[in-house]
Amino acid sequence: MSSWEKLTEEQQHQVEHQLQILKRGAADIVPEEALKLKIIKSVVTGKPLKVKLGLDPSAPDIHIGHTVVLQKLRQFQDLGHEVQLIIGDFTGRIGDPTGKSETRKQLSEEDVKRNAQTYQTQLSKVLDITKTTFYYNSSWLGELKFDDVLRLAGKMTVARMLERDDFAKRYAANQAIHVHEFFYPLMQGYDSVSLESDIELGGTDQTFNILMGRTLQGAYEIKEGQVAILMPLLEGLDGAQKMSKSLRNYIGINESPNEMFGKTMSIPDTLTLKYFELTTVLSFEQIEEMRQGLAACTIHPRDAKLNLAKTYVAMYHGEQVAEEAVQHFLTVFQKGALPEEIEEVSLSRNDLDAERIGLIKLLVQLGLQASNGEARRSIEQGAVRFNEVKITDITVQITPQDGDILQVGKRKFVKIKLT
């Protein structure tokens, strides 16, 4: 490659250093060769690359799954590149044009602003927020008129659109795809046109949308199309499905230290290294060392996981809190003792029937379980203790007293307060 040979040795070293960091953990880079060329150019000219990430404008509640791309962004920042965070408020303000879905509510301008503020607060835990530029895509998309929109739509074929996984499936299953839905990838792509992004980050489920940005940049004659860096989707606590709020298998970065610690300890051992690699700032060498230790059985899987849990608490609550969380966890779960502080929850005497209440109903009433079904299963699985006594009979009637302690699994405790 001719441009490579024109570099000084020092520059070659810089390029290789950046590539090693940036490629780490990525599921795919499309096209990989273009990433190298962009980094070479940046090293030679001293001009940072523009690295884009699109954000949903709804109220953020960032979890460890999200931090996979955020950590990659942070790596770009640490290497001197420029981060473009795009709040998709234009899409969000539109709501659901079919008017059929109630879940997709139209966001007001104030909602969007408030959510952006929350993003800023939450993202500052991972990114260097002083080096991060926020954009609202309404500022360019909102200005487009019908003929601009037609020009945009003219860049893409219907067949190509229907190749997108979810469209293909719905079309094959005779499920309605409304014409405006084609515009979601087109809008995301147009954001890259508007900001002339060099790189866009996203999960592998964003492949189609991100490559759309590359295609549209070509169609709008922005010389070098953006490169897609596609990060793996992180499995949630269940070790199977993608971590997400709706599946309740997530670790939120705003959760309490003990909750965060406990949840982390509940992931399957097989995921510890992946979590480390994708969501912490541990160096390549540190992770390699751990990998070898685990393989050689010189590191116990539980200790690696404790280390991960402590790392998270340190990242999101500080070093000192992390130490305390370790102690708390060891006290409660390792030794089987009750935690020092247990939340008191009120129980109205009106819910009792001749001072008694079924255990299932009690679990739901106290908020320990979301539904009767869930409560029944927990009891049957032996996860429920009343004053430290395991109860597996789902028909049991309890006569609760002030101070009684009800426990589900290893981490949920409440102290009853009759009112």
Report the residue number, 180 or 302, with the smaller CB distance to its own copies.
Answer: 180
Does residue 154 touch its own copies according to CB under 8 A?
yes
Q: Which of 26, 116, 186, 230 binds its own copies (CB under 8 A)?
A: 186
If you count them, how many residues does the chain have?
419
State the Cα–Cα distance between residues 216 and 226, nearest whole angstrom.
10
Does residue 183 touch its own copies according to CB under 8 A?
yes
Tokens of 276: 């480390």
Phi-psi region of 256 (alpha: psi -120 to 50; beta: other; left: phi over 0): beta
Does residue 87 touch its own copies according to CB under 8 A?
no
Q: Which of 174, 246, 348, 419 binds its own copies (CB under 8 A)?
A: 174
Does residue 180 touch its own copies according to CB under 8 A?
yes
Does residue 173 touch its own copies according to CB under 8 A?
no
Report the residue number, 46 or 154, with the smaller CB distance to its own copies.
Answer: 154
State the Cα–Cα distance between residues 249 and 243, nearest whole angstrom.
6
Does residue 162 touch its own copies according to CB under 8 A?
yes
Does residue 157 touch its own copies according to CB under 8 A?
yes
Residue 84 C-beta: closest distance to its own copies, Å: 21
Residue 194 C-beta: closest distance to its own copies, Å: 13
37 close to 21: Cβ distance less than 8 angstroms = no
The candidate with the shortest Cα–Cα distance to 57, out of 84, 103, 95, 100, is 95
Residues numbered 92-151 forming contacts with its own copies, rule: CB under 8 A: 93-94, 96-99, 141-151
Size of the site for its own copies (CB under 8 A): 40
Angle at CA of residue 148, ends 193 and 113, nearest 5°: 65
Helices 301-317 and 284-295: crossing angle in degrees, nearest 10, is 150
Tell me whether residue 50 is annotated as binding.
no
Does residue 333 touch its own copies according to CB under 8 A?
no
367 close to 345: Cβ distance less than 8 angstroms = yes
Report the residue number, 98 or 346, with the smaller CB distance to its own copies.
Answer: 98
Does residue 287 touch its own copies according to CB under 8 A?
no
The candidate with the shortest Cα–Cα distance to 129, out of 68, 64, 70, is 70
Q: How far lies 74's CA from each of 34, 79, 131, 159, 363, in Å?
A: 21, 9, 10, 37, 43
Question: Taking contact as CB under 8 A, which single stretch among the options 51-59, 89-97, 320-328, 366-374 is the one that binds its own copies?
Answer: 89-97
Report the residue number, 89 or 235, with the smaller CB distance to its own copies.
Answer: 89
Strands 412-418 and 405-408: antiparallel
Which residues line the annotated binding site? 245
| Site of interaction with its own copies (CB under 8 A) | 90, 93-94, 96-99, 141-159, 161-162, 167, 171, 174, 176-183, 186
Annotated binding site for ATP: which residue ranges?
Answer: 245
